[in-house]
Structure 1
Amino acid sequence: MRVFVIVLFLLCSVFSYAQEQQMAYDYFRKGEYEKAASIYKSLYEKNKFNATYLTRLIDCEQQLTNFDVAKNLIENHLEEFPTQYHFYVELGYNYELQHQQEIANSHYQKALDFLEKNYNYGYSIGKAFQNNHLLDYALKAYTLTMKKNPNANYNLQIASIYGEKGEINNMFDTYLNMVEKDEKYTATILRYIGKFITDDGANENNILFRKLVLKRLQSNQLNSWNQILSWLYMQQKEFGKAFIQEKALHKRNNESIEGIINVGEIAFDNNDFKTTHDVFTYILENTDNQSGILDAKLYLLYVSIEILEDLNAVDLQFQEIFNQYGKTTNTLEIQIAYAGFLTFKKNQPQQAILVLKEALKLRSDNFQKAEIKLKLGDILVFNGKFNEALIYFSQVQTKLKNHILAQEARFKVAQTSYFKGDFEWAETQLKVLKGSTSQLIANDALDLSLIINDNSAQDSLKIALKKYAQADLLVFQHKNKEAIDSLNAILNEYKGHPIEDETLFKQATVYEEIKEYLKAETNYLKIIEINPNDILVDDAYFRLGELYSKQENIEKAKEYYQKIIFDFPSSIHLVKARNKFRKLRGDDI
């Protein structure tokens, strides 16, 4: 019993201590420095070995302009702990805040002089300078420590300081020097460099970084230089150039082709079908691994589906694979892709359903079965069999709780309910998905939720929304002519209604799909004309830029990309619009 009481007392003490720390931090963050100082003083007196409490207490007193109090705190601490020389930095900074620069500099120098013989304190002194934005002194501290102790490595800190100072060239050079000495730092430095690089190849930092890496590649054929260039080109969505770098690595080292596969998959996701085709053709020519071969063939099929007009020729490509490799779990992804092709390209959903129901009989795992059921549900929705589709989607949700496939299934439940006109149930599912771990699913959920909410307030019966959902289903079913007619009927009946802008935008996307670009252009311009502040206006401007770019109407394309750059700085299209504008302007990227 006695032991229990002691343990309980200790636990309560720890909990109380943690509460005090949090309360002090909250006051400090909110700028209530007197309250924060009172708690930090109490914490410091209980545990003088915890320098964080003293540092925060000093910060509070300085914010309250109690410089003498701060000075006494520091000096008393140094008397008690004379080797904690980083507090000379704090003492100097206290004088600097009072504009007594000479005294401040003398204390800074005292800290640096201490490092001459006690280089083990390099990090604490350098960090103290850095925390007080004394960046030149921080550089001196870290550089001196590394000079005195060749085993010390503060290059990450030095590079970070150069970044804070805006000396981007020095920062990049420092990071690259780290890689040149030890290639294991490659992934680490890219995490930091990523903060200074955009997907805009014309960005000044991007250009500078590329030149620095290319210069090193010319003098030293390290694998890391190719890896870094591949990474940079991937950020800029220049997948063909990334492929060249990955191919050079593969030919030089005959290593894994994972990097090449990654380029091909991301290129496909970004509609760069030429690079996708080149990548997976290369993989077929350079691997004898059946899994790799089948993955390559699958992506080449995806490309064929996108670019070939002869659907029977694509069908024949599928049959050749099945004849060679059979319909087994090894070719399951290809069977699922074939079902999608039959449904959405050849309008043969019944045959597709048979393909998938046969696939379900294979001895596959729960994740493979989930993939089959998701595709089967899509095809049943295509066929208008909503309830049966919901059963398959719900089975995936139940079987794989909290997995990304379960979240995808939940979105499909919401979408199917929306197509059915059951908007309340759809909204219930969408509320959960707004916090999805998948950004894509979360965004899709938000978009669908906005459509439902924006068009429910003024129409309690939701008649316009039901008609729009039915037209949206036709779009999902790739019944483009019927969808356009249905959307036209909504536009004629609901002029001035909130549904009008969504209808115009949806119809414009269908016009683009069937290459009726003038009609798409008319719709996008109408959205801008109806309400220049509408939530879809930046989307309309971007789509117009894309349309004119396809038609090689350079001046018009630049005009609409520029609209986003100057008038919609928070648009999700901003970076792409800026990049495309600079390319059209002829910037060297």
Structure 2
Amino acid sequence: MTNYKYYIYNIIHINNTRGIALFLIVLLHGSSLFAQNQSEIQLANEYLLRGDKKKAAELYRELSKQDVNNSFIYNNYINTLLDLGTYDEAQSYLKKLSKREPDNIQYKLDMGLIYMRSGDLQKADHYFRDLIAENKMNVQRIKMMAEFFSSRSLIDYGILALTESRNFLNNPNLFSLDLAMLYRLKGNQDKMVQEYLNYVTQTSANIQYVKNVMQALLTEPEELASLEKLLYDRVQEFPDVEVYSDLLIWVTMQQKNFYASFVQARAYDKRYKHDGEKSMEVARVALDNEDYDNAAKIYRYIIREYNKTPNYLMATLGLIRTREARLRKTYPVSTDSVKTLVSDYKKFIKQYPDNANALEAARSEASLFANYLDQKDSAIIILNKLIANPRTSTYLRSKAKLDLGDIYLLKGEPWESTLLYSQVEKTQKENPVGYEAKLKNAKLFYYKGDFRLAQEHLDILKEATTREIANDALDLSMRIKENIAFDSVGEALKEYASVELLLYQNKTDEALQRLEKLKQGYSSTGKPLTNQSILDDVYWLEANIRMKRGEFENSLALLQKIQTEFPQDILADDAFFLQGEIYERQLRNKEKAMEIYREFLNKYPGSVYAAEARKRYRTLRGDFTEQPQL
């Protein structure tokens, strides 16, 4: 015995623990043996990596004769024997290990796997079922067994293990997440959803996790409809379980059925005394999704029912904003309606001058002055006051600076614009408003025809920003790349970008004249342009101009030209969807709009507009006019 081993032995022996002393001696001795065999283990692993399983098995077999090596070679050795089909050797090896560790669940599970891999499925089935029955009272062992079965695609046995244990322990919520994952792997969505609902009832803190999972996994309309029905049943059966009501509101919003969401939110707010908070959430999402009717209806309800709560002011401002959003989408825009909105914003600011919402109202007022009433100087005064106000939040100040930059661009002062955009970009680097500033700078470079600098900004935005800004960046980037590929100088694209700038500056007549020359293949100076790949973009831009001027027939004809002449182009589905929107919202032709949305879903099922087209079709068909009442 070496000196250090003798020293350890005597220290522990004095304390009457001879067994521990012997264990430490074996451990130290084993470590020495492992050090000697380390190179053999490494060599065996290298053979396995190279695919020489027979050579690897020979080395593992020799190494397994020394117990100290087994913890390092076990997984590779067993898997190699299974792959080689040497099942008798695998059983002998496991029996030897099991004698030393009879309670090791891993050895027992692998023995069942050997029966299965050898083709004795009946024996494997009986063995696994008996093993599950023996361990069903032990939660940790059952979880380990379920993970084993899952990792080897034996999903049914994993489900059996968890449900047997759950039933034996009489705990219906046990293993909810584990079972949800296994049902997902098996493709049983109904049971997967039920397990997630079991999980969410255990604590309300789980609800956001469940919403995130559901949003990722339930993407088809019928899947969401199935979840909605299940939640209606749960809400009726368990009216006091708050999370079911919350999830029912959420799933109807996912389907963009905001009337149904409102019905549930209204009941939810009253039942749990939330002062209209959930209804406000539905109104905000409805407004973001351009469902102006339901947004206005909900805001009016909150104003009426919760006039002594903080949500009263938010709803009052939300109602004005809803009217503004609707006005911006109704062509041509009525100047009298804009003036009425300005008056309402002024009244709100005067009535609640010290409220933070009044600052938001001032920003909206400035936007209307600049973009619709051609009172840019008035807008600049309002925004400068807003920026200088110490009560203005950092976010709102940044947005006001971006608005101010936009107005200077309207005035034809792009250097002032880029100065303001760059300030926000620098101070809000990793925030969405900073990305928005970078996108505005990219568009400035694009307007000026500096496509290289524009592309540098856009490449960054495509990778690290919000989805909306990333999509805008991607669209502009693709337009640049597509047209530069045919015309390295980018002459046609420069002409097109300059027309976009004219439109931004509300110089519509001049823009239309320039577009007419572009359609004929000439620049504004009469120079012939060789690149005609931009023609679809020209049609698209003019179609939008005609629509905003109320020239709907001209707009529809141009959108049809895109589909006829460029059926495989990236703008084809945009043009088709916009036709439906014109018939629905501008011409109020319900039947024609339904026809277009229905055809759109058949022709472009993978389009980013597919979900919206489906929702609009169902709305026009009357699917959302009557809702179940609780």
TM-score normalized by structure 2?
0.78
Q: What is the alpha-carbon distance in structure 2 between the residues aligned to residue 502 and residue 562 of structure 1?
A: 25
> What is the letter of the counterpart of residue 213 of structure 1?
L
Paired residues of 1:126 and 1:138 also in contact (CA < 8 A): yes
Matched with 1:508 is 543
Q: Are the structure 2 counterparts of residues 89 and 278 from structure 1 closer, same or farther at C-alpha, using a change threshold of 3 Å?
A: same
2:286 is the counterpart of 1:267: yes
The secondary structure found in structure 1 opposite 2:486 is coil
Q: What is the alpha-carbon distance in structure 1 between the residues aligned to residue 309 and residue 248 of structure 2?
A: 30
**Structure 2: gaps of 5 or more residues:** 1-37, 328-333, 522-528
Deviation readout 1:74-102 (Å, 9 max, x if unpaired): 55554454323244333323432343212
> What is the letter of the counterpart of residue 147 of structure 1?
N
Residues 37-56 of structure 1: pairs in structure 2 closer than 5 A: none
Paired residues of 2:166 and 2:175 also in contact (CA < 8 A): yes
Matched with 1:282 is 301
Matched with 1:296 is 315
Q: What is the alpha-carbon distance in structure 1 between the residues aligned to residue 418 and residue 511 of structure 2?
A: 23
Matched with 2:526 is none
Matched with 1:212 is 230
The secondary structure found in structure 1 opposite 2:520 is helix
> What is the letter of the counterpart of residue 518 of structure 1?
E
2:226 is the counterpart of 1:226: no
Matched with 1:379 is 407
> What is the letter of the counterpart of residue 153 of structure 2?
H
The secondary structure found in structure 1 opposite 2:261 is helix
2:445 is the counterpart of 1:417: yes
- Among 159, 165, 169, which residue is 1:149 paired with? 169
Matched with 2:387 is 360
* 1:352 CA displacement: 0.5
Q: Are the structure 2 counterparts of residues 569 and 245 from structure 1 closer, same or farther at C-alpha, using a change threshold of 3 Å?
A: closer
Deviation readout 1:441-498 (Å, 9 max, x if unpaired): 1111111111222222333442211221122123333444443333232112269711
- Among 505, 526, 537, which residue is 1:477 paired with? 505
* 1:422 CA displacement: 2.3
Matched with 2:343 is 316
* 1:209 CA displacement: 2.1
Q: Are the structure 2 counterparts of residues 192 and 433 from structure 1 closer, same or farther at C-alpha, using a change threshold of 3 Å?
A: closer
* 1:558 CA displacement: 6.0
Paired residues of 1:213 and 1:229 also in contact (CA < 8 A): yes
- Among 557, 565, 572, which residue is 1:530 paired with? 565
- Among 123, 126, 148, which residue is 2:146 paired with? 126
Matched with 1:172 is 193
The secondary structure found in structure 2 opposite 1:455 is helix
Greater shift, 55-64 or 512-521, is seen at: 55-64
Matched with 1:337 is 364
Q: What is the alpha-carbon distance in structure 2 between the residues aligned to residue 147 and residue 294 of structure 1?
A: 52
The secondary structure found in structure 1 opposite 2:419 is helix
The secondary structure found in structure 2 opposite 1:360 is helix
Deviation readout 1:79-131 (Å, 9 max, x if unpaired): 45432324433332343234321232233124213214645411111222233
Equivalenced residue count is 560
- Among 456, 462, 466, which residue is 2:490 paired with? 462
Greater shift, 111-120 or 551-560, is seen at: 551-560
Greater shift, 301-310 or 497-506, is seen at: 301-310
Greater shift, 289-298 or 212-221, is seen at: 289-298
**Structure 1: gaps of 5 or more residues:** 1-16
2:214 is the counterpart of 1:193: yes
Paired residues of 1:159 and 1:174 also in contact (CA < 8 A): yes
Q: Are the structure 2 counterparts of residues 331 and 423 from structure 1 closer, same or farther at C-alpha, using a change threshold of 3 Å?
A: same
- Among 125, 130, 146, which residue is 1:105 paired with? 125
* 1:215 CA displacement: 2.0
Deviation readout 1:285-323 (Å, 9 max, x if unpaired): 344678644433332222222345422211110111122
Q: What is the alpha-carbon distance in structure 2 between the residues aligned to residue 67 and residue 301 of structure 1?
A: 76
Deviation readout 1:260-309 (Å, 9 max, x if unpaired): 22222211111111222223233333446786444333322222223454
* 1:571 CA displacement: 3.0
Q: What is the alpha-carbon distance in structure 1 between the residues aligned to residue 494 and residue 558 of structure 2?
A: 21
Q: What is the alpha-carbon distance in structure 2 between the residues aligned to residue 68 and residue 558 of structure 1?
A: 68
Paired residues of 2:255 and 2:615 also in contact (CA < 8 A): no
Residues 393-472 of structure 1: pairs in structure 2 closer than 5 A: 393-472=421-500
* 1:519 CA displacement: 2.0
Paired residues of 1:34 and 1:60 also in contact (CA < 8 A): no
Q: What is the alpha-carbon distance in structure 2 between the residues aligned to residue 330 and residue 85 of structure 1?
A: 63
The secondary structure found in structure 2 opposite 1:456 is helix
Q: Are the structure 2 counterparts of residues 75 and 240 from structure 1 closer, same or farther at C-alpha, using a change threshold of 3 Å?
A: farther
Q: What is the alpha-carbon distance in structure 2 between the residues aligned to residue 184 and residue 425 of structure 1?
A: 46
Paired residues of 2:317 and 2:357 also in contact (CA < 8 A): no
Q: Are the structure 2 counterparts of residues 183 and 329 from structure 1 closer, same or farther at C-alpha, using a change threshold of 3 Å?
A: closer
TM-score normalized by structure 1?
0.83
The secondary structure found in structure 1 opposite 2:463 is coil
Greater shift, 480-489 or 269-278, is seen at: 480-489
For the aligned residue pairs, the C-alpha RMSD in angstroms reads 3.9
Q: What is the alpha-carbon distance in structure 2 between the residues aligned to residue 38 and residue 546 of structure 1?
A: 67
The secondary structure found in structure 2 opposite 1:402 is coil
* 1:136 CA displacement: 2.8
Structure showing greater Rg: 2
Paired residues of 1:199 and 1:237 also in contact (CA < 8 A): no
The secondary structure found in structure 2 opposite 1:194 is helix
* 1:237 CA displacement: 0.9
Matched with 1:499 is 534
2:134 is the counterpart of 1:114: yes
> What is the letter of the counterpart of residue 516 of structure 1?
E
Greater shift, 66-75 or 299-308, is seen at: 66-75
Q: Are the structure 2 counterparts of residues 190 and 359 from structure 1 closer, same or farther at C-alpha, using a change threshold of 3 Å?
A: closer
- Among 262, 266, 285, which residue is 1:243 paired with? 262
Paired residues of 2:249 and 2:261 also in contact (CA < 8 A): yes
> What is the letter of the counterpart of residue 262 of structure 2?
F
Greater shift, 134-143 or 71-80, is seen at: 71-80
Identity %: 28
Greater shift, 112-121 or 209-218, is seen at: 112-121
- Among 304, 310, 324, which residue is 1:305 paired with? 324
Paired residues of 1:280 and 1:296 also in contact (CA < 8 A): yes
Q: What is the alpha-carbon distance in structure 1 between the residues aligned to residue 614 and residue 52 of structure 2?
A: 47
Greater shift, 96-105 or 369-378, is seen at: 96-105
> What is the letter of the counterpart of residue 178 of structure 2?
Q
* 1:542 CA displacement: 2.9
* 1:549 CA displacement: 4.8
Paired residues of 2:486 and 2:531 also in contact (CA < 8 A): no
